[in-house]
Amino acid sequence: MTTVLIIVNIAVLLLLMFGLFKMQKKHVSFSKRVFTALGLGIIFGYLIHLIYGTTDEVTTKSIDWFNVVGIGYIKLLQMVVMPLVFISIVGAFTKLKLTKNIGKISFLVIGILLGTTAISAAIGIGSALGFGLDGIHLTEGNAEKARNDQLAERVPGIENMTLPQQIIELVPSNPFQDLTGARATSTIAVVIFAAFIGIAYLGVKRKDPGPAEFFAKIIDTLYSIIMRIVTIILRLTPYGILAIITKVTATSDYEAIAKLGKFVIASYVALIIMFIVHLLLLSLAKLNPFRYVKKALPTLTFAFTSRTSAGTLPMTIKTQTKDLGVSEGIANFAGSFGLTIGQNGCAGIYPAMLAVMVAPSAGIDPTSLSFIVTLILVVAISSFGVAGVGGGATFAALIVLSVMNLPIAIVGLLISVEPLIDMGRTALNVSGAMTSGVLTSKATGEFDEEIYAQPEIVEA
């Protein structure tokens, strides 16, 4: 009987996917298909949760099959992340799009990312204080105890990670290893390696234009092929979102979420306020924030459901260039740096909130000005090197709490609501990267106002 029920669930998923395919054939817009998939996934997942529960064999084995679509889609996106970053940065040099302003572009992108992270930390502090969050009353269950045991093993390495050591981690020693994404800072390392190749290309071009022109043609050809691969994969987005959100709603622990509901609400209030800050920054740059929301929403929706900034990178870059009018070079710089520097949600809001919650247990007044200023600075500086994959927020929180000499156990105590909060954090991370790309492109005069002003989203 169990096998029959599993087959029924798989058949329902396939039927829903067929419905999305029919919508595509009828040329229904990409954004409508994405949100239809999101709605269908929420309903289908909740029905599975309601009928079978989260731990029943029917649920777990059905999800295993759903993962073929959901996780399979994420892996396809991750497959093209490193090639896309590398070729795009080198291509920016061969197309002479970054040569004049490369220093200014790098400064602006990183500056905006760090600046918005500092703002997000301040918002996180305000939300935690405003909601009166207190980490002392959190209880430790079996899952939380197991998580804290794991964290205890990780602390020594994090406590010994000074700022200079974090900076050193960004430098590539083996670019071929970094192209595999082996390290948390591999993306930034690939950007640096690609920039060196680009600078070398410019030197060769001045002295011997022939080989340089041949190299540029190779890079342009590879870029066209990789972008075509990205386009093919992005067409699968509605199906991936359907499977991913079905899994999330089917396996979520709603009782635990209810117990920690105050923290969840406080977190999302902070995330929403920071997103509004992004829109205000765009408004100050004399750009229509509602147009940004409309065009960025499909990408932010995928980031929300998938919980991976790295997996969202191809969409992040394509949305900036095709829909928001950002130049290719700046879009790649902003997207790539946004994976490991200045993540507004994971490295900004989350660590700041946890620090405020545990400060009283260490005899520190979380409302004191010295504590708040120190915490904001530590959060901003510690945001270097936070990985754009699952666990990045935990890593960031461990660094901040360790530097501030605060207890780290609270990180494990929130494991039951971690997936729910991580969805919003990831979407905010991606929005921060895209906002930095748009603002930098506008400031350097490499922004296409006509593309941004177009009301429709360019199809993937």
Query: Packing angle between helix 289-306 and helix 30-52, nearest 10 degrees?
Result: 40
Question: What's the mean pLDDT when you consider all of the chain?
Answer: 85
CA–CA separation, 281 and 136 (whole Å) = 37
Structure tokens at 310: 């790295």
pLDDT digits (tens, 9 = 90+) for 200-251: 998 898 888 889 899 999 998 998 898 889 888 888 989 999 999 999 889 8
Give the mean pLDDT of 33-39.
90
Confidence (pLDDT) at 90: 87
CA–CA separation, 233 and 72 (whole Å) = 11
pLDDT at 293 exceeding the cut of 90:
yes
The band of 154, judged by pLDDT with boundaries at 50, 70 and 90, is very low
Confidence (pLDDT) at 163: 60
- The fraction of the chain above a pLDDT of 70, given in percent, is 88
- Give residues with Cβ within 8 angstroms of 300, minimum separation 6: 427, 430, 431
Helix then strand then coil, % of the chain, to nearest 5 = 80, 0, 20
CA–CA separation, 27 and 89 (whole Å) = 33
Angle at 99 between CA 96 and CA 103, to 5 degrees: 150
Name the residue with tokens 């979380």. 366
Q: How far is CA 339 from CA 101, 166, 288, 334, 437, in A?
A: 22, 15, 25, 9, 13
Query: Packing angle between helix 289-306 and helix 237-251, nearest 10 degrees?
Result: 60
The band of 373, judged by pLDDT with boundaries at 50, 70 and 90, is very high
Give the mean pLDDT of 448-452.
92
Structure tokens at 295: 């065009």
In this structure, the number of other CB atoms found within 10 A of the CB of residue 134 comes to: 16
Confidence (pLDDT) at 399: 80
In this structure, the number of other CB atoms found within 10 A of the CB of residue 26 comes to: 7
pLDDT digits (tens, 9 = 90+) for 306-358: 888 888 888 999 999 999 999 888 888 888 888 878 889 988 999 999 999 98
Q: How far is CA 187 from CA 18, 353, 417, in A?
A: 36, 27, 28
Q: Which of 55-69, 199-213, 383-397 has the lowest mean pLDDT?
A: 383-397
Question: What sign does the dihedral 65-69-70-73 (CA atoms) show?
Answer: positive
pLDDT digits (tens, 9 = 90+) for 133-153: 876 555 444 444 444 445 445
Confidence (pLDDT) at 159: 45
Q: Which of 39-43, 59-63, 383-387, 439-443 has the lowest mean pLDDT?
A: 383-387
- Give residues with Cβ within 8 angstroms of 311, minimum separation 6: 74, 77, 78, 81, 389
Give the mean pLDDT of 363-385.
89
Give the mean pLDDT of 54-78.
90
- Give residues with Cβ within 8 angstroms of 328, minimum separation 6: 88, 91, 92, 95, 97, 321
Maximum mean pLDDT: which of 345-359, 372-386, 443-457: 345-359
Cβ pair 425, 271 in contact under 8 A: yes
pLDDT at 17 exceeding the cut of 80:
yes
- Phi (first) and psi of residue 326, to 5 degrees: -85, 140
Confidence (pLDDT) at 414: 75
In this structure, the number of other CB atoms found within 10 A of the CB of residue 167 comes to: 12
Q: Which residues sit opposite 447 in a β-bridge?
A: 326
